[in-house]
Amino acid sequence: MTIQLLNDRYQVIRTLGAGGFGETYLAEDTYMPSKRLCVVKQLRPIHNNPQIYQLVQERFQREAAILEELGGANDQIPALYAYFSSGGQFYLVQEWVEGDTLTGKVQKQGLFSEGAVQELFINLLPVLDYVHSKHIVHRDIKPDNIIVRHRDGKPVLIDFGAIRESMGTVVNSQGNPTSSIVIGTPGYMPSEQAAGRPVYSSDLYSLGMTIIYLLTGKQAQQLETDSQTGEIVWRQYASHVSPIIAGAIDKAIAYHPRDRYPTARAMLDTLQNIANPIPPTQPILTQPTIVSAPPPQTVAVKPQPNPQGNSQNNILLGSLIAGGLIGASVIISQVLTKPTQSTADKTVLPSETPSNVTSPVRETPKFIPTTSSVPTQTPSAPTQTPSVTTQITPAPTTSIPPVGTTTANTYLWLSQRLVNDADLDGKDGFELDIMRNSIFASHGRRFDTPGLQDYFDNLPWYKPIYSPKAFPSKLLSKLEQQNIEYINKYQERYGLRYFKK
């Protein structure tokens, strides 16, 4: 092609694109010692009516000033170097962003992973939040208008629609200037934007449709629409996406604006909570005061036949030290000559419950047993059931309660239904902390807090796999995320926390 010199300054290297509004060139700035590369956009009005040329020029200048402000304050929007008009056409000179459009990335590297689109969301939503804070709607977000910059991997938002709208300026029947065109790309713009009434969440819709393309490889026009709800049907093409991320995308592309995220900031907050869920708690530096002991627990023990004529011996079993912390000695009597486990550690299964026990025993490990009061009883016959009452009192010198001998995850239901205040009322800070952190532990997360780690290490079901930093938050279901937040807010509301963040 013939090399042009625009405005006696910008030497065209090649054409980057062309459309109904003009052409876009890659050019060198001959006035700069570095001969820096820049993008020159040639824009032409859709009408050559001299009467409205002045209106077009005024709008163009106003929108150019907005682009200058946006690009000057945010490095993920191209900087505006200059603007000028020549021969009835208008020109913008902008920063050249070296990188690949999202369309180019998919063509080169294939579909994006869930983690990659989550990162893209988190990097791009603050840009949209900034743009919207200036009362501007981009109106043409799509894979071709987001460039992943080579030098730092950041997404850059290009090609705002307001300038092109200026080129469509006409005078209506009332003599008022208006635009004769709708800015946006079919499939990527929502219905209200197609009707000429874009709102801030219209950009979130377009971004959501862009993300769907990255996950599925399908352009917006290739996806079906639910004939009853108007919602886009896409999930069957992205089975690798977790329900919680898919739900965030669905909310962004909801048919009606009222059902979408109201702002880019609201969507960003949701995605950041997914990426960084409320962390497990950190230890309190000062020891909490335990006011009173829990009520005594009574454990029924199935009698064992004694071949030695029911003789009994009182045996000192020893002292137990839990989790490396100072424990308390447990004196247990009523030990038969046949080796048996401590009655305080025995889990009574339904099939083992004697006939005179009418309700199952609830064992909630919360304090160290320090004294054990066991009545001495000589059974009159091998079939008699001895009754053992264990009085449990708090250990005043213990900073972290020990683990119990629970053999199953008591809080598995937190992964199956939503928690409510009735589930939490009456529980102390220690038990609430254990409830919340059990959700993390059930997915194999380790803990920085020694007390928490000691607690879960002593539970048979706990299988530590991930370090705290390497724990993949996508393992948490949406319901689990909600329960973590609910318990955390409940604890903050009532000041019930045994470990501090």
Round the average pLDDT of the chain to a whole number and report it: 77
Q: pLDDT tens across 75-93, in order?
A: 999 999 999 998 888 999 9
Q: What is the pLDDT of residue 423?
A: 87
Task: State whether 333 and 195 are in the same domain.
Answer: no
User: Which whole-number Å values give the CA distances from 350 to 120, 140, 304, 357, 490, in the listed order?
Assistant: 53, 65, 17, 10, 34
Indicate whether 283 belongs to any domain: no
Indicate whether 166 belongs to any domain: yes
**Cβ 136 vs Cβ 66: under 8 Å:** yes
Winning range, highest mean pLDDT, from 204-213, 235-244, 426-435: 204-213
366 annotated to bind ligand? no
- Fill in the amino acid letter for 407: T
Largest CA distance in the chain: 119
pLDDT at residue 404 tops 80: no
Task: State whether 180 and 256 are in the same domain.
Answer: yes
Q: What is the pLDDT of residue 392?
A: 45
**More confident: 248 or 22:** 248
Lowest mean pLDDT, pick from 71-80, 247-256, 315-324, 458-467: 315-324
pLDDT at residue 359 tops 50: no
Mean predicted confidence (pLDDT) in 135-144: 94
Q: pLDDT tens across 286-342, in order?
A: 445 455 555 555 555 444 545 444 444 443 334 433 444 344 443 344 434 444 444
Task: State whether 102 and 83 are in the same domain.
Answer: no
Q: What is the pLDDT of residue 100?
A: 96
Task: State whether 26 and 46 are in the same domain.
Answer: yes
**The domain that contains 151 carries what CATH number?**
1.10.510.10
148: how many CB neighbours lie within 10 A of its CB?
18
Cα-based torsion angle of the residue sequence 63, 67, 69, 70 in order, rounded to the nearest 10 degrees: 130
Task: State whether 12 and 22 are in the same domain.
Answer: yes
Indicate whether 455 belongs to any domain: yes
Annotated catalytic residue, options 8, 100, 140, 428:
140
**More confident: 358 or 455:** 455
Winning range, highest mean pLDDT, from 106-110, 167-171, 411-415, 439-443: 106-110
- The domain in which residue 141 lies consists of 98-276
pTM of the shown model: 0.56
Indicate whether 351 belongs to any domain: no
Q: What is the pLDDT of residue 60?
A: 86
Task: State whether 270 and 298 are in the same domain.
Answer: no
**More confident: 232 or 401:** 232
Q: CA 64 to CA 166: how far, in whole Å?
A: 10
Q: pLDDT tens across 419-428, in order?
A: 888 889 889 8
**Cβ 433 vs Cβ 499: under 8 Å:** yes
Indicate whether 362 belongs to any domain: no
DSSP 234: -
For the chain, how are helix, strand and coil distributed in percent, rounded to 5? 35, 15, 50
Query: Dihedrals φ, ψ of 167, to 5°?
Result: -70, -20
Task: State whether 3 and 19 are in the same domain.
Answer: yes
Indicate whether 317 belongs to any domain: yes
- Fill in the amino acid letter for 176: N
Angle (nearest 5°) at CA 403 between 402 and 409: 155
Sign of CA dihedral 87, 92, 95, 97: negative
- Say whether 382 sits in a helix, a strand or coil: coil
Residues 6+ apart with CB under 8 A from 489: none
If one counts the domains in the chain, the total is 4
Task: State whether 162 and 311 are in the same domain.
Answer: no
Task: Extract the tokens encoding 463.
Answer: 């299988």
Residue 140 designated active-site: yes
Task: State whether 259 and 174 are in the same domain.
Answer: yes
Task: State whether 123 and 236 are in the same domain.
Answer: yes
**The domain that contains 58 carries what CATH number?**
3.30.200.20
Task: State whether 87 and 109 are in the same domain.
Answer: no
**More confident: 57 or 352:** 57
Q: pLDDT tens across 175-204, in order?
A: 666 666 678 899 999 999 999 899 999 999
Task: State whether 84 and 191 are in the same domain.
Answer: no
Q: CA 458 to CA 456: how far, in whole Å?
A: 5
